[in-house]
Amino acid sequence: MKFSLQYLYCKAGGTLATSLTRWTARLQQPRTVQLDWSAVNETAGRVYHVQRSTDGRSFSDIAIIPARNDNNPDYSLSDVLPGGPSGSSTGSPTAGSSGSFYYRLLIDDQGSISYSTIQQVRIDADAQGIRVYPNPATDFISVSTGATGNWRVDILAADGSLVQRETFLQASTMRVNFRSRMSAGTYFVRAFDLRGQRNFTSSFIVTGH
């Protein structure tokens, strides 16, 4: 099994934000990304620009949120990803295509600009047959096949061993609640079409509790 690691950094002439204590982006539904962050020592007049990119270099605002100036404030935002025809001028992956979206925070302290690290969210292609979300997961996953049918859903460990098996009748989206606490790591989902006798496989990550 091969793994790759990608480092992304800002080249926009600002400094890296040091007041952020948390900044995450994860796929919550097939086309919705959940963004969460926390901060300390917020200055008066601070504004957060939540920005999205399709190439990790050119970013544009999707929301502008004034700081609350509370003690250790938490922020949350759901971003519904754009669709659009293939080859559109925005360069955004379409609703049925694979690709990545990148997120960062531009933090404006009355003209003093700093940036968060860049978070990458991967969208799987329809060719894989199923979508798995949320990813990373903690207590459950939802498996969307796009077609109503009778399905057997297996969760497999990285070594291929069976962790959990469920059967769903006349379903296209199946919620699989983990029967026991799962160790952090990478797992695989195998959805077997009981009528068409076809297998579809994808992967997901379990985070620590």
CA 161 to chain centre: 26
**pLDDT for the residue numbered 81:** 80
pLDDT in tens, 71-107: 879 999 999 887 532 333 333 444 334 578 999 999 9
Structure tokens, 203: 């992967």
Going along the chain from its start, the domains and CATH numbers come out as: 15-123 (2.60.40.10), 126-206 (2.60.40.1930)
R_g of the chain, CA atoms, integer Å: 19
Low-confidence residues in the chain, pLDDT < 70:
1-17, 29-30, 83-98, 124-129, 208-209
Query: Which ranges of 33-191 does DSSP label H, i.e. alpha helix?
Result: none
SS3 content of the chain, % helix, strand, coil (to 5): 0, 55, 40
Instruction: Give the integer Cα–Cα distance in Å for 100 and 53.
Output: 9
C-alpha–C-alpha distance, residues 119 and 105, integer Å: 10
The per-residue pLDDT for 151 is 94
What pTM was estimated for this model as a whole? 0.55
Note the pLDDT tens digit of each residue in 140-164: 999 998 888 899 999 999 888 899 9
Q: Which of 73, 67, 63 is nearest to 39 (CA)?
A: 73
- Report the pLDDT value the prediction gives residue 83, as an integer from 0 to 100: 56
pLDDT number for residue 145:
86
With contact defined as beta carbons under 8 Å apart, do 122 and 33 qualify?
no
User: What is the pLDDT at residue 91?
Assistant: 39
Beta bridge partners of 108: 47, 113
